Structure 1
Amino acid sequence: MTVAEPRLTLERRLLREHALVIACDEVGRGALAGPVAVGAAVVDAPRSRKRIPQGLRDSKLVPEPKRADVAARAATWVAASAVGWASSEEIDEIGIMRALGLASIRAIADLRAHGVVPEDAIVILDGNYDYIRPAGEWGLTVRPVIKADRDCASAAAASVIAKVARDRLMTELHDELPAYNWARNKGYASPDHRQAIRTHGISRHHRASWSIGEAPTLF
């Protein structure tokens, strides 16, 4: 089966009208534990003429042993990158969509702190819904693109950078609470994770509204 390779077709077209493209993609949206992360990757005109890093794909399509290397090369290829986070507590408090917006704003704020001017950019957001501007970033131009992480190299870079960062965090949390086997399941609803919740209950890193409130459908 041939896996489609991301390209820079859309980015090059958008860069005719905007100084920068910022691509955003989320990781961890469906997990039971841990934060949600949003990766942001910046592409400018010079980067759009460079060769796309070999093996760059949507993070779900990159084999786990290769992800860290691909993410490192993607971070070198883009003009700038950042990862924004929203905690499990924040997800419980405000809901997943608003938490995604909050994580996006934090990623974009990190880019701004490193000299990127987001108002000069157009934001490619993977998916069909703009959760960034409702979270408070009304000054940005946001373009939701379905399957951007598959088709757009900038979004694939954001995806794999965020995935590696979140997986690393979940592995660190595993060392704190090994019963949930987060080093393997990364907080998602795997059978071993579900069984651990039945046995030990939830931890402070779980999304309580998901792990308890939806228990009849999860378990």
Structure 2
Amino acid sequence: MSVADPTLEFERALFHDGATLVIGCDEVGRGAIAGPVAVGLGAFFADVDGIPVGLRDSKLLSEPRREALHPEVLAWSPFSAVGLADNAEVDGLGIIAGLGLAALRGLEALCEAGVSVETAVVVLDGSHDWLTPALDGWPAASRPRVVTRVKADRDCATVAAASVLAKVHRDRLMIEADAVHPGYEWVSNKGYASASHYAAIGRMGSSALHRWSWLKQPALF
């Protein structure tokens, strides 16, 4: 069954209802046992158009295709950011708070780039709004409005773009980390659970980049 191209239909409805800025938001690495969680953010104004050809939710794209699309997505979304929360923060805070922390860092990066995020509507993939609680520490006037949409990463072009940005950024980090902590096959598994990944942990112990509380044995490094 073919998957339809994402569109700007939902985003245009938000603009029609008065939004001046829409930020697509998606996370990558929620279920990994090593490495950070990454949250991609792409900010778009009402004149957004020209969706990159072949854009999809990053999970529906091969690694070479994501890499090829990445510069096109950056060009289409010049106001974008990827926020990270590392494995120790995920261990200490829990994954939901870790996602919120990563998103806040991404939003702060957009602010530093001159984006007025307080005027934005953030489109968050899924049905669970994990972002609004993370914004509680911000002044009320500075907080963007958050809307959730199931399958937004599949259907909404801004969220699909955010997913590609987050996935490519995190994958590159895990490939780089594989050279520092070899043997876990992070080039191929990107820190996600697999039989060979667990077998490597059994042989070598866990590394400084593993989410230790997610493993069945203590950290050994």
- TM-score, with length taken from structure 1: 0.94
CA distance in 2, matches of 1:213, 1:98: 23
One-letter code aligned to 1:21: V
The answer for the alignment partner of 1:140 in structure 2 is 144
Higher alpha-carbon deviation: 130-139 or 146-155: 130-139
One-letter code aligned to 1:118: V
> Residues 55 and 62 of structure 1 are in contact (CA less than 8 Å); yes or no, is this contact kept in structure 2?
no
- Structure-2 change in CA distance of 1:79 and 1:12 (3 Å): farther
CA distance in 2, matches of 1:44, 1:121: 9
Q: Is 2:111 the partner of 1:112?
A: yes
The answer for the alignment partner of 1:164 in structure 2 is 168
The answer for the alignment partner of 2:198 in structure 1 is 194
> How far does residue 211 in structure 1 lie from its aligned partner after superposition?
1.5
The answer for the alignment partner of 1:203 in structure 2 is 207
- Structure-2 change in CA distance of 1:135 and 1:213 (3 Å): farther
Percent pairwise identity: 50
CA distance in 1, matches of 2:4, 2:168: 21
Q: Is 2:80 the partner of 1:65?
A: no
* Unaligned stretches of 5+ residues in structure 2: none
Could you list the runs of 4 or more consecutive aligned residues of structure 1 that deviate by over 4 angstroms after TM superposition? none
* Unaligned stretches of 5+ residues in structure 1: 215-219
CA distance in 2, matches of 1:187, 1:3: 27
The answer for the alignment partner of 1:36 in structure 2 is 37
C-alpha deviations, 1:115-156, integer Å up to 9, x for none? 101111100011111111211355220001111100000000
One-letter code aligned to 1:112: C
Alignment of 1:37-56 (within 5 A): 37-47=38-48, 50-56=49-55
The answer for the alignment partner of 1:217 in structure 2 is none
The answer for the alignment partner of 1:15 in structure 2 is 15
Alignment of 1:82-161 (within 5 A): 82-136=81-135, 137=138, 139-161=143-165
Q: Is 2:185 the partner of 1:181?
A: yes
One-letter code aligned to 1:31: A
Aligned residues: 212
Higher alpha-carbon deviation: 96-105 or 76-85: 76-85
2:183 alignment partner, SS class: helix
Q: Please give the root-mean-square deviation of Cα atoms over the aligned residues, in Å.
A: 1.3
- TM-score, with length taken from structure 2: 0.93
The answer for the alignment partner of 1:212 in structure 2 is 216
One-letter code aligned to 1:18: A
One-letter code aligned to 1:99: G
C-alpha deviations, 1:44-92, integer Å up to 9, x for none? 1121xx2210110000011111111212111111241100000000000
CA distance in 2, matches of 1:2, 1:87: 35
CA distance in 1, matches of 2:215, 2:67: 29
1:179 alignment partner, SS class: coil
Higher alpha-carbon deviation: 16-25 or 28-37: 16-25
